[in-house]
Amino acid sequence: MANVLHTVFGVFGNIFGLFLFLAPMITFKRIITKRSTEQFSGIPYVMTLLNCLLSTWYGLPFISPNNILVSIINGTGAGLELIYVIIFLIFAPKKEKAKVFGLFVFVVTFFSTIALVSMLALHGKKRKLLCGYAAMIFSIIMYGAPLSVMRMVIKTKSVEYMPFFLSLFVFLCGTSWFIYGLLGKDPFVYVNNGFGSALGAAQLILYAIYRGKQGEKVPIAENGDLEMEANESSKKKQTHAV
């Protein structure tokens, strides 16, 4: 029964994770249409790519057994994030392009180093520990990205910059993988996703508190997602003014 539930929650994690990885498509549709990255930041996509690569590697059978579902969704995520990074590099201005490309080179180098060291220098438990800690740390960093958005919600007393469905899928994805990790007795899966689940729950609580309230308006966004929301909000105001 435990094995069945383990698989079931892994499948749920794949479904909800796919929604999370597809969420930036709206942003990149805008970038392609305008042929400009405007004020969007490419850094979150490069760092998410690193997280996906490390998690995909960790889930492979020769690193950690019974975690192939982890590799499936993160392999899919890595492919999507790579597409996002390439599109960003095509349309970004020269200075931003150089910064993002430099970070991309670092990501590829770092992942390649972890992969080579784990295969050539380590075996058994030591190999799993190296790959597990690397995947867990960068997964926590990925989940922690919305903290700036939550700070903005509290500051402005408005959920204008925190889309409900994105928060919902952070919670559902984190919770699914948290339970999956507990059932599989794998701390490298349940620790980071437990953090993600708690963070998603906190976002939903903030949404319930500030939903429908008109808070302060913040003219300068703090990250790519906020920039998109701020630009859209500004456009709507201009349309109504006309």
SS3 146: coil
pLDDT at 233: 42
pLDDT at 213: 66
pLDDT, tens digit, 9 for 90 and up, residues 60-69: 999 998 899 9
pLDDT band at 215 (very low <50, low <70, confident <90, very high): low
Q: Residue 147 and residue 205: Cα distance in Å, rounded? A: 14
pLDDT at 41: 79
**% of the chain residues with pLDDT over 70:** 87
pLDDT for 223 beyond 80? no
pLDDT band at 238 (very low <50, low <70, confident <90, very high): very low
**Of 64, 229, 30, 232, whose CA–CA distance to 135 is shortest?**
64
Q: Spell out the SS3 assignment of 41-93.
A: CCHHHHHHHHHHHHHHHHHCCCCCCCCHHHHHHHHHHHHHHHHHHHHHHHHCC
Place of tokens 């180098």: 109
Burial 212-237 (b: 16+ CB within 10 A, else e): eeebeebeebebbbbbbbbeeeeeee
pLDDT for 230 beyond 50? no
pLDDT at 130: 94
Q: What is the mean pLDDT of residues 202-212?
A: 87
pLDDT for 27 beyond 90? no
Give yes or no for a contact between 109 and 54, defined as CB atoms under 8 angstroms apart: no
Q: What is the mean pLDDT of residues 200-208?
A: 91
Q: Residue 240 and residue 73: Cα distance in Å, rounded? A: 42
pLDDT at 12: 92
pLDDT at 236: 41
Q: What is the mean pLDDT of residues 180-187?
A: 92
pLDDT, tens digit, 9 for 90 and up, residues 112-161: 999 999 999 988 899 999 999 999 998 888 787 767 778 888 888 888 76
- Give every CB contact of residue 159 below 8 A, 6+ residues apart in sequence: 153, 206, 207, 210, 211, 213
